[in-house]
Structure 1
Amino acid sequence: MTDFHAEYAPAAPPAQLPRAPLSLSCVVPAYNEQANLEGFLRALAQTVQTLTPDFEIVVINDGSRDGTHELAMHLAQELPLRYLALSRNFGKEAALSAGIDHARGNAVLLIDADFQHPLEMLAEMHALWQTGYDMVYGVIANRGAESGAKRLGTELFYRLMNSGNPVQLPPNAGDFRWMDRKVVDALKALPESNRFMKGLYAWVGFKTAALPFVPKDRAAGSSSFNLRRLGSLALLGLTSFTTLPLRVWSMVGAVISLIALSYGLWIAAEAMFLGNPLRGWPTLAASIMLFSGVQLLSIGILGEYIGRIYDEVKRRPIYLVAHDEDHSPLREKS
């Protein structure tokens, strides 16, 4: 066993009563996944059937612009599927929230439709859930296929998120996870509109286990998560789950103020005791520009937090459902 696997080896779960028979909701967000969707859903259904006959697949179309809608409508006639089409593209965090809100099973699986999350891990997730874990999540074991800039940015993000934060985010953990109904109900009870799901998974707690995996290549198409969207998601996480940027700039402001005060005292002492004339207009101009830049940057960071507050107090819904095609066999059990 490698050191990585040893690090993430789950601890023994607490003794508990046996789980109820599994009824599984598989939440699959889809954005422009026409090329992958049919093959993936059929493979998912075939895999889940080996675990339980009592399951549903909840597909959330997050405003796709290809043929995802028509394909999902067709598959809903053949598979135990509930298909939700959102009114526009709300983002993956909102799509996951929609799936979690509409899932009816006593366990919920979150999984992407691009084949990057290995289906062969579901049996192990199920086994860990049966032994008492409330949440089992996948941890990326190897990011070697990613660019150096993305790996560096990911490492920096988790360092910032976990620096002095009472809620620690597991590094390299994503949305690939199996959750008990009690975890799902806890997530549904959280009221915020700006939903950073990785932070919410960690915040609710419960007994968790991590499983390392290596993401597979996409079967078709390309990821919609470019650097701009990843940067926006990182900013959402930082402003939703940590006040570290505010604390850092408070310290920066204090240090700069101390330096400026010391420099001012030095100039005054030099003029009073050494008789040197007051010079340094270039220094004065540079100092004004520096302080102005620091102030504007500080206001910008503060504005990000105020913007999040503004979004929250409006209490707009996280998503809007334009179409709900319900062929789930679990519908009588909700």
Structure 2
Amino acid sequence: MELSLIIPLYNEENNIDELVDRLSKSLNDIELTYELILVNDGSTDETNDILCKFNANSNVKIITLIKNYGQSIANRAGIENATGKYILCMDGDLQHKPEDIPKIVSYLDKGYDLVSVYKDSGSKQSIGSKIAHRLISRISKTDLRYYGISVKAFRRDLINTGDLYGNTHRYIGISLAKNAKKYIEVPITIDNRETGKSKYRHKQWSVLFELFTLKLMLKDIDGLSKYFRKAGLVLGFLGVVGVAITICLDIFADLNIGRDFIIEFIFMNFVIIVGILFFILGLVLHIYQKESSSTPYIIRSND
């Protein structure tokens, strides 16, 4: 298999038939062998029943998750069950035109490891979006024009699927670009959604948290975890020793903590608290790393 097309779906009953029809026509126009992976992300409407119609199609693979995990995890489930040398991720609401697939895939044939996309000149970008993209570029030290579009085509061996969680699919192009020897950005037109409402909504207030998460994605998490845990233990030990010394002086040297060592005593307790916080942060990073390396989803059995 040469190309795996991943489409996450959540309550898209009104779009699936047209989506699969247009995708099939576009995929038949490319020279690569392909599989179409439709990931049902815990839909509660008729999405699952409609998808069952395509089980007989040898080019279509249906993955049904037991609950709604979100777009990043749905993409991860699709990628981890894909067999293609190349991966192409798109949304399932038809805002991304299936007819653009041949153009995107053509750059893979030309030797590019990653094909990212951006809105063409006819699509407006808000001031807030421009500011966010500049911040992301500065933090990530990449020069991609646009990070918010989930359409990406890339070599399968470029991606660490452990980086896909929460809303990180929006920024996965950063790690892909850093791993790619050769990448290109191409313009596409974003259509308005014709039926229903967007199921994968992005909350504006989460941008700051996502930027922090992005920093973690670009760091050695295991190294940071060990650093904070060791620093926490050292600070905690020094603080306990300092408190013990001041208490011993109070008991055996006829000195008064409240009179002679109050500042030192408060400072040592502060050091203990900081040490505990550092150690907890190290544990959180350790748990985060373990969770990102494990499989965070369950696929529903067809039995």
Percent identity reads 20
TM-score by length of 1: 0.62
- The answer to whether the 8 A contact 1:82-1:324 is kept is no
SS at match of 2:14: helix
How far 1:98 sits from its partner (Å)? Answer: 0.9
Matched residue, 2:134: 159
Contact persistence 2:142–2:174 (CA under 8 A): yes
5+ residue gaps, structure 1: 1-21, 244-302, 326-334
Pick closer, same or farther for the CA change 1:113–1:84 going to 2, 3 Å: same
1:312 is aligned, of 259, 264, 289, to 289
What's 1:116 paired with?
95
Q: 1:132 to 1:74 in 2, by over 3 A?
A: same
Does the aligned pair in 1 maintain the 2:37–2:60 contact within 8 Å?
Answer: yes
Residue 240 in structure 1 maps to residue 217 in structure 2: no
Residues 275-314 of structure 1: pairs in structure 2 closer than 5 A: 310-314=287-291
The Cα shift of 1:53 comes to 6.8
Equivalent-residue separation in structure 2 for 1:145 and 1:163 (angstroms): 22
**TM-score, length-normalised on structure 2?**
0.67
Structure 2 CA distance for partners of 1:308 and 1:61, relative to 1, 3 Å: farther
For residue 16 of structure 2, the aligned residue among 37, 56, 67 is 37
1:201 counterpart letter in structure 2: G
**Bigger mean CA deviation after superposition, 167-176 or 27-36:** 167-176
Alpha-carbon offset, residue 198 of structure 1: 3.5
Q: Structure 1 residue 102: deviation in Å?
A: 1.1
Aligned counterpart in structure 2 of residue 222 of structure 1, from 197, 212, 233: 197
- Give the SS at the match of 1:242: helix
What value does the CA root-mean-square deviation take over the aligned residues? 3.1
What's the CA shift string for 1:281-312, capped at 9, x where partnerless? xxxxxxxxxxxxxxxxxxxxxx9998666543
Q: 1:83 is paired with a residue of what secondary structure?
A: strand
Describe the shift of the 1:73–1:173 C-alpha distance in structure 2 as closer, same or farther (beyond 3 A).
same
Counterpart check, 1:321 vs 2:299: yes
Question: Take 1:323 and 1:129, find their aligned partners in 2: how far apart are those partners?
Answer: 34
The 10-residue stretch of structure 1 (49-58 or 94-103) with the greater mean CA deviation from structure 2: 49-58
Distance 1:305 1:34 in 2: 44
Residue aligned with 2:15, SS: helix
Name the structure 2 match of 1:46: 25
- What are the within-5 Å matches in structure 2 for residues 1-334 of structure 1? 23-52=2-31, 54-78=33-57, 80-141=59-120, 151-180=126-155, 184-188=156-160, 191-192=162-163, 194=165, 196-204=168-176, 205-206=179-180, 207-226=182-201, 228=203, 230-232=204-206, 234-242=207-215, 310-314=287-291, 317-323=295-301
Q: Retained in 2: the 8 A contact 1:169–1:199?
A: no
Assess if the C-alpha contact under 8 Å between 1:58 and 1:83 holds in 2: yes
Amino acid at match of 1:117: H
CA apart distance, 1:54: 2.4
Letter in 1 for 2:301: H
For residue 115 of structure 1, report the CA deviation from its aligned partner: 1.4
Q: C-alpha displacement at 1:316, in angstroms? A: 5.2
SS at match of 1:312: helix
Q: Which has the higher contact order (CA 8 A, sep 6+)?
A: 1
Q: Which runs of 5+ in 2 are unaligned?
A: 217-279
